[in-house]
Amino acid sequence: MKLKDIKTFVVGNPPPHNGGRYFVFVKLTTDGNVHGVGEAYCVPFHPSIVAQMLEDVFGRYLAGEDPHNIERIWRRVYSSGFTQHSDLTLMGVLSALEMACCDIIGKEAGQPVYNLLGGRVHERLRSYTYIYARPGDKVDVYQDPDLSAERAVELVRQGFTAIKFDPAGPYTAFDGRQLRLPALDLCERFVRQLREAVGSKADLLFGTHGQMTAAGAIRLARRLEPYDPLWFEEPVPPDAPEEMARVARATSIPIAAGERLATKYDFARLLRAGSAAILQMNLGRVGGILEAKKIAAMAEVEHVQIAPHLYCGPVVGAANIQLATCSPNFLIQESIETWQGFHAAILRKPIRWSEGYIIPPTEPGLGVELNEEYIKDFPYKGSQLHLEMGAQPLP
């Protein structure tokens, strides 16, 4: 079996853009006409350039290769251009290509990918969602605790047993920083009102995006502790695991981190520093499915759990589900609400979600297929990136 062809898809995500402004998918086909799909997450270049990167890396390192040779392909791409370092751009590209290879391998074997990585551990996967803005909102749901509390109650009624929110203010290229007292007050009010609204029916996941210094994060954590959040997410920028470890030692709230890291090498530093109790690898960035499985095994040794990150399209979601299903130390999977709307429409068969849980597929490979006829009507025409940070320091 040899890899023969590549096709890329840059898909604009229509409003309200939950999961990002666009998704970058790839489809690889073998000389036996078996195909597999993958998705690259948040590569910091225009998606048309990312599509060219996928084609370039495929042509250099995968064309004519047996897709079973994941380790050999991985090392060649990881070391390409004399780098041998976890470059986030290259790792996003490699993740998508590796994911597609795993899909092909599963289809050839007639097995879900999780059966090739140790077998099914979990019959269903607990999931959580952000409280998302909705069309017609007159206020910013991330700045209005009253509206967020109402939405939290609605989500609990749907079956969610964990809810995430991020009221810590905008994030900029100049973080970390000290939050000002009004921001600290708002964060405390948020978690207090949501706890009062949902009681013990749902865990609260306090999201941030590295906005704070370690000292600032410790100040905030002390305000949040009385309300017992399940986690405090990425409280400091991801480039200093030792600083994150300072926060972890100073609070009783478990620290979750890892969405902006790639490869076992980055995660080993996180584990060695004692920075996080919960690892949030994104399979469209971390280096692919097998790399994520290695990280999960490293975490298992340290009694650290995994909660795969998802703020992208459903192909990464499908890969996350494969990893979660076969990982003993799985905690919870991020969902984008209930996987409906555009996230369902771009697949031939949507991801199954029921009463707060994802039902792992039994189909071979990743268990999803792109609806190519549908997505061709949603080209991305913008110039902005998938996600962007504020370009100026806060006044």
Measure the CA–CA gap between 135 and 320, rounded to whole angstroms: 28
Q: Which residues contact 270 (CB under 8 A, 6 or more apart)?
A: 241, 244, 257, 258, 261, 276, 279
* Token pair 């994911």: residue: 99
Query: In the annotation, is 85 catalytic?
Result: no
Query: In the annotation, is 209 catalytic?
Result: yes
Do residues 141 and 361 touch, judged by C-beta distance below 8 A? no
* 376 phi-psi bin (left φ>0, alpha ψ -120 to 50, beta other): alpha
Do residues 74 and 84 touch, judged by C-beta distance below 8 A? no
Outline where DSSP puts E strands in 138-185: 162-165
Q: Which residues contact 38 (CB under 8 A, 6 or more apart)?
A: 25, 26, 28, 95, 96, 97, 98, 99, 100, 101, 103, 284, 315, 319
Q: One of 209, 303, 343, 386 is an active-site residue; which one?
A: 209
Q: What residues are labeled active site?
A: 209, 309
